[in-house]
Amino acid sequence: MHTQEQFDLIILGGGAAGLTAGIYASRAKLSTLILNEGMVGGQMILTYEIANYPGYENISGYQLSMSMKKQAETFGCVIKQNITIDQLDIQGEIKSVKLSNGNVYTSKAIILATGGSSRNLNVKGEDEFKGRGISYCATCDGDFYTGQDIIVVGGGNSALEEAVSLTKYAKTVTIVHQFDYFQAFEHAVEMAQKNEKISFILNSTITGFHGDEKLKYVEIKNLKTDEISKKEIDGVFIFIGYAANTSKLKSHIAINQYGEIITDETMATNVPGVFAAGDVRAKKIRQIATAVSDGAIAAVSAIEYVQK
């Protein structure tokens, strides 16, 4: 039997931004529902170790995610995870979300906090070897490569920090990056450069993945000389940024050329009663701390909207 429930606020997405919004809104006595297509935690839960979130010198992404989830539920926030959204109507005064199981939830306001997904290299063999030598999550798959040789692709904070964390398992880690400089913070660069297990192939990119049942080797192109070389490898971890999860939202909301939701400083979108927070929003800095900030602001704005 299908159900239909009314809430003051629905939050789509249970990452740092969505969970923070849930904490603020439910504590303000708004009946609040978080809907998450997957396990709550967002990109946090894919992170092996977090060392720059205020108040914690060291905490795993899973631990921080579960702590936020528990706090939101303590204030009465209802959280439903591993669901699939079938239909979305956010234009009217009453917003509605229909799930694939037929259940319908309505609300006076909605916060879009659907986050982002790992970007692909989009080269030959990548789809074929996903899960068979190619990974986008060090936390999920790092221990599968204990004592083996792996490559990390990317030059930002995530790539360098995860490369260091992967040295706890791997025999060697080779960082392949398309530039001769890194976009990461200096601390992350120094940590990677000081690690004896880590080496670098710069000004280069992977142009192909090859193997049989499992990945065996990659083709690497030097972007300055166009020379192609082959490197035998046990696994490749790709950390080249994230794309905003707006595929189901594009027809409902104003987005920029990168597919990110456009908001003002109150996290309001172009649709009344609709707010956005976290990595799905058009902004420059994407960190857990900034997602938490977005979530708090979006929740306060939603509370004011509902009370009016």
Distance CA 282, CA 123 (A): 27
pLDDT of residue 131: 86
Residue of 141, 234, 279, 294 marked catalytic: 141
Poorest-pLDDT segment among 24-28, 118-122, 227-231, 235-239: 118-122
**Is 127 marked active-site?**
no
State the amino acid at position 261 in one-letter form. Answer: I
120-238 architecture in CATH?
3-Layer(bba) Sandwich (3.50)
pLDDT, averaged across the chain: 94
pLDDT of residue 216: 97
For residue range 126-174, list pLDDT tens digits in order: 999 998 999 988 877 898 999 999 999 999 998 999 999 999 999 999 9
Q: How many percent of the chain have pLDDT more than 70? A: 100
pTM assigned to the model: 0.81
Distance CA 228, CA 125 (A): 16
Beta 172-176 vs 198-201: how paired, if at all? parallel
For residue range 100-109, list pLDDT tens digits in order: 999 999 999 9
4-117+242-307 and 120-238 agree in CATH topology: yes
What does the pLDDT average to over 227-237? 97
Distance CA 211, CA 228 (A): 17
What does the pLDDT average to over 183-207? 96
**CB-based contacts of 195: which residues, under 8 Å, 6+ apart?**
163, 164, 167, 173
**Is 141 marked active-site?**
yes
For residue range 16-60, list pLDDT tens digits in order: 999 999 999 999 999 999 999 989 999 888 777 788 899 988 888
Residue of 86, 89, 127, 140 marked catalytic: 140
Distance CA 129, CA 162 (A): 20
For residue range 257-297, list pLDDT tens digits in order: 989 999 999 999 999 999 999 999 999 888 899 999 999 99
Residue of 8, 77, 127, 137 marked catalytic: 137
Distance CA 292, CA 289 (A): 5
CATH 3.50.50.60 fits 4-117+242-307, yes or no: yes
pLDDT of residue 1: 60
Structural domain boundaries in the chain: 4-117+242-307, 120-238
pLDDT of residue 255: 95
Distance CA 272, CA 239 (A): 36
